[in-house]
Amino acid sequence: MTTKTITIREDVYNMLLSIKGTKESFSKFFERMVISRRNVDKLKELRGFVEVKEKDTLLKELSEKRKEIRY
């Protein structure tokens, strides 16, 4: 596997470090962000095609899943 070195400002590094999982490598973190972005784009494409009947329940479940992923 090839590796690449990137240069970022220290303040940006600290922001990324604060949202990266404690046992997660930066490679896995960036991979997760890219996959997550693809999912968001796909959801935007589907906007309007799905009717959510229990919106509050769905939002609560999504919030709980986000907390699990972040920690």
Task: Answer whether residue 50 shows pLDDT above 80.
Answer: no
- Average pLDDT of the residues of the chain: 84
Q: Give the angle 60-63-54 at the CA atoms, nearest 5°.
A: 30
Interval 16-49: pLDDT, tens: 888 888 899 999 988 888 888 887 787 777 777 7
Interval 51-60: pLDDT, tens: 778 888 888 8
Torsion of CA 20, 21, 26, 27, to 10 degrees: -120
Question: Which pLDDT score is estimated for 10?
Answer: 93
